[in-house]
């Protein structure tokens, strides 16, 4: 009597399980490693990533019945032809693994496996060919756009007198940002200027601008543009603007921020344009610092939610400091660097509203106190090469504009992430015992992981840890230590069961999330921790359970006996493992103490004086961070592989060096005055890539 074959789990079952696995199971590869194989009516065997697939019920166009296999890398996890299921072991999987198929079935399985292998290879070739065709079309589109822009630029200017408004009305203040790659050879999609080593392309944030002015600028310069007509904000760019939206800055105000995603040198950046509430009410002044703080908080929260994985620039009219010197909104720009202050420090005021030097401002002002109220905030890691005022000596606006040239980070780590490494925050080892007492009971990954909070996982391969630590330093040096409190238990439900986790609370609030977002920009391929709808949700896993009810029972038991665990986050750990061994720290990356933007920029300027130079704040800057007294020296440990005489020669040639002095008894020390700051440099010749704290 024939026996019925065991039922094979469906492709829909597989899809749902994998979606949950990549979200909750740390041992699973990310969605970009998972592929669905199907028959296409035009191209034949085809594949698409699991992350790109949408079921019919969610608006997709590929039914589950057309999916033939699912693979992770070269491993086939599910194969309809073979009735193979590596997830549950359904179908003929037990017999295939045990090699107990009957002769006829074994031959059919061999042929089915060969067919699947052939389909995978054909799909790869088809995808490669389609990508080549897509790139060719994009290249032709770029070339066509560049030809059109050159034709416009070489023809008569469209910006005649009437284009600027009624009778020469003032052109609004603009905040241009020039974004420059550090290395030569980059190509942009739009017009620009090249000096043979770099390509400079402009993005302009404009306030209170009229459509006529935008049209005039566009006709003469060929900008991509996005314009918030209601708020009279505009972002103009020679780069391609791929997305734009506005952010409401409060229920009781018409103020909005304009946000644009721009493709720059092969990566996306986000530029936000703001015009915050001023203190002027008719012919008198009031204090709206609290309102501006709330507006800045709403903007940062929206950016963290919608564009947390890219570099963000915030530019515009902050209307601060107030006449009393309060910078409430500016204080909410944590993690970003004020481009003007980073370059000039206190040596150059840079007042953009100055009735004493601006005729229009003197006619319109209620208060005549000069202030630097227009700002450009850039991500940590971007260096300010130049910053200047725009429109001085002209009756163009009651504000001077600000123009800054910013250098892209030295390098990004774009290696494909692996799941044998992670960038983590570890609680103090003295506290592991009481956490592990819980994990040993409930966590199936207890023997693979120590107690940890993932910041980035998967991460770059272990052989790249030295380079990864160097790349992360530009971010870590401006993020100070912060307090972490592990108190709140939470049950995370999913179709395969539930997880019990501790949710970390950081002080200052959001410090851990801000640090993760900044590091995400340095490692743009490592997005698993933040790619889901809710964004990055830090947690320390305590256990996994088959049912949510079992997790809730454990939660009730553990909460009653748990006392909060509070510690100071002072470093991150780069973990790795080989084979079946346990993860262990391979490199430790110390956090800074929250350097001021000016000090961080100074370290960056020193590092650019040689290949592979690394600058570390020591002394008062290392102890006090942004609180370093302005009249104290900036002490720097400079590490490189070149002779100190060569390096010191370059340092003395830095812009803004007023004087320099060598110490006879200490030939590897240099003292100099740079832009009004006394800098004491101790040079160490070493090829070691570790942070000096771990030498």
User: So what's the pLDDT on residue 558?
Assistant: 94
Position 7 scores a pLDDT of 92
Q: Which CATH architecture has domain 598-694?
A: 2-Layer Sandwich (3.30)
Q: What is the pLDDT of residue 202?
A: 54
* CB distance 176 to 203 below 8 Å: yes
pLDDT at 34 over 70: yes
The answer, yes or no, to whether residue 436 has pLDDT greater than 50, is yes
DSSP conformation class of 158: S
| pLDDT confidence tier of residue 171, bands split at 50, 70 and 90 | very low
pLDDT at 330: 92
Strand partners, 281: 284
pLDDT number for residue 136: 66
Q: Quote the CA–CA distance of 413 and 464 in Å, as a whole number.
A: 9
Number of residues that this document lists for the chain:
695
Q: Tell me which residue of 309, 310, 328, 308 sits closest to 318, measured CA to CA.
A: 328
Q: How far is the C-alpha of 22 from the C-alpha of 49, rounded, in Å?
A: 13
On the question of pLDDT at 309 being above 70, the answer is no
Q: What is the pLDDT of residue 276?
A: 92
Backbone angles phi, psi at 44, to 5 degrees: 80, -140
More confident of the two residues 322 and 193: 322
Report whether pLDDT(71) > 90.
yes
**Least confident stretch, 146-155, 162-171, 606-615:** 162-171
Residue 235 pLDDT exceeds 60: yes
Local confidence band at 158 (pLDDT 50, 70, 90 cut-offs): very low
Residue 323 CA to residue 368 CA, distance in Å, equals 10
Q: What percent of the chain has pLDDT over 70?
A: 81
Mean pLDDT, residues 370-386 taken together: 87
Strand 666-674 with 657-663, pairing: antiparallel
Tokens (6 digits) for 48:
């698409």
Question: CA-CA distance, 676 to 633, in Å (whole number)?
Answer: 11
302 vs 425, higher pLDDT? 425
Instruction: Note the pLDDT of residue 170.
Output: 34
Q: Residue-wise over 481-517: b if at least 16 C-beta within 10 A, else e?
A: ebebebeebebbebeebbbbbbbbbbeeebbbbbbbb
**How large a percentage of the chain has pLDDT more than 90?**
33
Kindly indicate the confidence band of residue 255, based on its pLDDT and cuts at 50, 70 and 90.
Answer: confident
Mean pLDDT of 288-307: 89
Kindly state the average pLDDT of the residues 664-671: 86
In the three-class reduction of DSSP (H, G, I as helix; E, B as strand; rest coil), residue 521 is classed as helix
The model's pLDDT over 82-100, given as tens digits with 9 standing for 90+, comes to 999 998 999 999 999 888 8
pLDDT in tens, 380-400: 778 888 888 988 888 778 889
At 598, is the pLDDT very low, low, confident or very high (cuts 50, 70, 90)?
confident
Q: Supply the pLDDT for residue 442.
A: 93
* Calpha distance 538→516 (Å, rounded): 9
pLDDT digits (tens, 9 = 90+) for 516-560: 988 888 888 888 888 777 788 899 999 999 898 999 999 999 999
Contact 26, 2 (CB under 8 A): no
> From residue 382, how far is each of 11, 161, 194, 350, 677 by CA, in Å?
45, 38, 20, 20, 21
Structure-block tokens of residue 134: 């897509």
Least confident of 57-71, 252-266, 283-297: 252-266
Cβ atoms of 343 and 287 within 8 Å: the answer is: no
Burial class (CB in 10 A: 0-12, 13-18, 19+), 321: middle
**Cβ atoms within 10 Å, residue 175:** 28
| pLDDT of residue 167 exceeding 80 | no
Residue 146 has pLDDT above 70, yes or no: no
CA-based nearest residue to 575, from 562, 561, 586: 586
Q: Which residue has the higher pLDDT, 377 or 473?
A: 377
Residue 192 has pLDDT above 70, yes or no: no
Average pLDDT over residues 286-313: 86
Q: Greater confidence, 651 or 601? A: 651
pLDDT reported for residue 251: 80
Number of helical H runs and strand E runs in the chain: 14, 33
* CATH class, range 169-407: alpha beta
Backbone angles phi, psi at 430, to 5 degrees: -65, -20
**Angstrom distance (rounded) from CA 402 to CA 108:** 72
Mean pLDDT of 325-347: 88
Among 70-74, 78-82, 278-282, the least confident range = 278-282
Q: pLDDT band at 618, cuts 50/70/90?
A: confident
Q: Are strands 284-285 and 336-338 parallel, antiparallel or unpaired?
A: unpaired
pLDDT of residue 662: 87
Q: Which residue has the higher pLDDT, 244 or 452?
A: 452
**Average of pLDDT values for 9-18?**
91
**Among 122-136, 143-157, 532-546, whose mean pLDDT is lowest?**
143-157
> Could you state, in order of their start, the residue ranges of all structural domains in the chain?
11-126, 169-407, 421-590, 598-694
Helices 511-522 & 465-476 angle (0-180, nearest 10): 130
Nearest Cα to Cα of residue 382 among 572, 609, 654, 182 = 182
Whether residue 29 is predicted with pLDDT greater than 60 in this model: the reply is: no
Give the strand order in the sheet containing 84-85: 44-49, 34-40, 67-72, 75-79, 84-85
234-250: average pLDDT: 79
Q: What is the pLDDT of residues 452-478, one digit of tens each?
A: 999 999 899 998 888 888 888 878 887
Checking if the pLDDT of 506 tops 90, the result is yes
CA distance 583 to 603: 33
- pLDDT tops 60 at residue 659: yes
Q: What is the model's pLDDT at position 184?
A: 30
Model confidence at 441: pLDDT above 90: yes
| Residue 266 pLDDT greater than 50, yes or no | no
Q: Answer for the pair 413, 406: CB distance below 8 angstroms, yes or no.
A: no
Give the confidence band of 178 by pLDDT, cuts at 50, 70, 90: low
| pLDDT: which is higher, 347 or 9 | 9
For the residues 411-425, what does the mean pLDDT come to? Answer: 80
Q: According to the model, what pLDDT value does residue 362 have?
A: 86
Longest dimension (CA), the chain: 102
Mean pLDDT lowest for which of 128-142, 375-389, 511-525?
Answer: 128-142
Q: Which long-range contacts (CB under 8 A, 24 or more apart) does 240-249 make?
A: 240/189, 240/190, 242/268, 245/306, 247/272, 247/298, 247/299, 247/302, 247/303, 248/298, 249/274, 249/276, 249/294, 249/295, 249/298, 249/299
* pLDDT for the residue numbered 438: 95
Secondary element (H or E) of residue 138: helix 103-154
Supply the DSSP string of 289-350, one letter for each residue. HHHHHHHHHHHHHHHHHHSTTSEEEEEEE---S-TT---TTGGG-TTEEEHHHHHHTTS---
Range of lowest pLDDT (191-195, 288-292, 671-675): 191-195
Do 487 and 565 meet the contact criterion of CB atoms below 8 Å apart?
A: yes
Q: How far is CA 595 from the centre of its chain?
A: 19
Q: According to the model, what pLDDT value does residue 187 have?
A: 22
Bridge-based pairing state of the strands 311-317 and 267-275: parallel
The pLDDT of 565-571, averaged and rounded, is 92
Confidence of residue 169 (pLDDT cuts 50, 70, 90): very low
CA 613 to chain CA mean position, Å: 24
CATH 2.40.420.20 fits 421-590, yes or no: no
Q: What is the DSSP string of 526-586?
A: --TTT-STT-----EEEEEESSHHHHHHHHHHHHHH---EEEEE-EEEEEE--TTPPPEEE
Rounded CA separation 596/576 (Å): 33
């Amino acid at each position: 009597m024939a026996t019925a074959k065991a039922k094979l789990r469906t492709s829909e079952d597989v899809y749902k399980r994998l979606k949950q696995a990549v979200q909750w199971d740390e041992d699973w590869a990310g969605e970009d490693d998972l592929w669905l194989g199907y028959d296409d009516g035009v191209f034949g065997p085809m594949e698409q990533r699991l992350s790109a697939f949408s079921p019919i019920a969610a608006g997709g166009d590929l039914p589950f019945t057309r999916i033939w296999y699912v693979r992770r890398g070269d491993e086939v996890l599910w194969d309809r032809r073979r009735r193979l299921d590596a997830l549950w072991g359904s179908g003929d999987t037990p017999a295939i693994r045990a090699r107990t198929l009957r002769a006829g079935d074994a031959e059919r399985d061999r042929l089915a496996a060969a067919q699947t292998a052939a389909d995978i290879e054909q799909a790869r070739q088809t995808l490669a060919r389609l990508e080549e065709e897509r790139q060719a079309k994009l290249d032709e589109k770029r070339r066509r756009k560049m030809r059109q822009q050159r034709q416009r630029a070489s023809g008569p200017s469209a910006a005649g007198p009437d284009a600027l408004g009624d009778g020469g009305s003032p052109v609004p203040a603009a905040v241009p940002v020039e974004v420059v790659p550090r290395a030569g050879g980059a190509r942009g999609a739009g017009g620009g200027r090249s000096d043979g080593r770099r390509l400079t392309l402009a993005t302009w944030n404009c306030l209170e601008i009229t459509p006529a002015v935008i049209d005039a600028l566009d006709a003469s310069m060929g900008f991509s543009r996005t314009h918030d007509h209601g708020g009279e904000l505009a972002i103009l760019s020679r780069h391609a603007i791929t997305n734009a939206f506005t952010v409401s800055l409060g229920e009781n105000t018409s103020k909005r921020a304009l946000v644009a995603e721009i493709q720059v040198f092969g990566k996306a950046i986000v530029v936000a344009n703001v015009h915050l509430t001023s203190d002027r009410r008719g012919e008198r002044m009031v204090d709206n610092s609290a309102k501006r703080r709330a507006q800045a908080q709403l903007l940062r929260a929206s950016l963290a939610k919608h564009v947390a994985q890219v570099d963000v620039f915030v530019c515009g009219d902050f209307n601060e400091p107030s006449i009393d010197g309060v910078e409430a909104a500016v204080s909410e720009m944590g993690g970003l660097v004020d481009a003007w202050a980073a370059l000039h420090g206190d040596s150059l005021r840079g007042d953009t509203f100055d009735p004493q030097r601006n005729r229009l401002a003197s006619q319109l002002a209620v208060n005549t106190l000069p202030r630097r109220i227009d700002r450009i905030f850039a991500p940590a890691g971007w260096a300010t090469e130049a910053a200047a005022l725009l429109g001085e000596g002209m009756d163009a606006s009651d504000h001077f504009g600000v123009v800054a040239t910013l250098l892209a980070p030295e390098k990004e780590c774009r290696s494909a992430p692996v799941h044998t490494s992670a960038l983590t925050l570890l609680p103090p080892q003295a506290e592991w015992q009481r956490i592990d007492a819980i994990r040993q009971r409930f966590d199936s990954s207890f023997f693979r992981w120590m107690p940890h909070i993932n910041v980035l996982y998967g991460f770059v391969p272990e052989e790249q840890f030295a380079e990864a630590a160097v790349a992360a330093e530009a971010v870590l040096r401006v993020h100070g230590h912060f307090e972490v409190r592990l108190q709140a238990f939470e049950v995370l439900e999913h179709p395969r069961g539930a997880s019990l986790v501790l949710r970390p609370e950081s002080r200052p609030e959001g410090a851990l999330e801000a640090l993760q977002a900044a590091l995400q920009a340095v490692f743009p391929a490592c997005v698993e921790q933040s790619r889901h709808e809710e964004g990055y949700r830090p947690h320390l896993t305590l256990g996994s359970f088959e049912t949510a009810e079992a997790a809730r029972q454990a939660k009730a038991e553990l909460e009653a006996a748990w006392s909060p665990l509070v510690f100071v986050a002072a470093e991150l750990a780069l973990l790795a493992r080989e084979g079946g061994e346990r993860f262990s720290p391979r490199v430790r990356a110390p956090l800074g103490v929250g350097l001021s933007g000016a000090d961080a920029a100074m370290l960056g300027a020193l590092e650019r004086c040689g290949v592979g130079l690394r600058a570390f704040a020591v002394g008062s800057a290392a102890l006090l961070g942004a609180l370093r007294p302005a009249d104290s020296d900036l002490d720097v440990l400079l590490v490189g592989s070149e002779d100190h005489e060569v390096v010191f020669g370059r340092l003395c040639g830095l812009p803004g060096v007023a004087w320099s002095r060598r110490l006879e008894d200490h030939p590897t020390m240099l003292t100099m005055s740079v832009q009004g700051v006394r800098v004491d440099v101790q040079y160490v010749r070493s090829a070691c890539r570790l942070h000096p704290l771990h030498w």
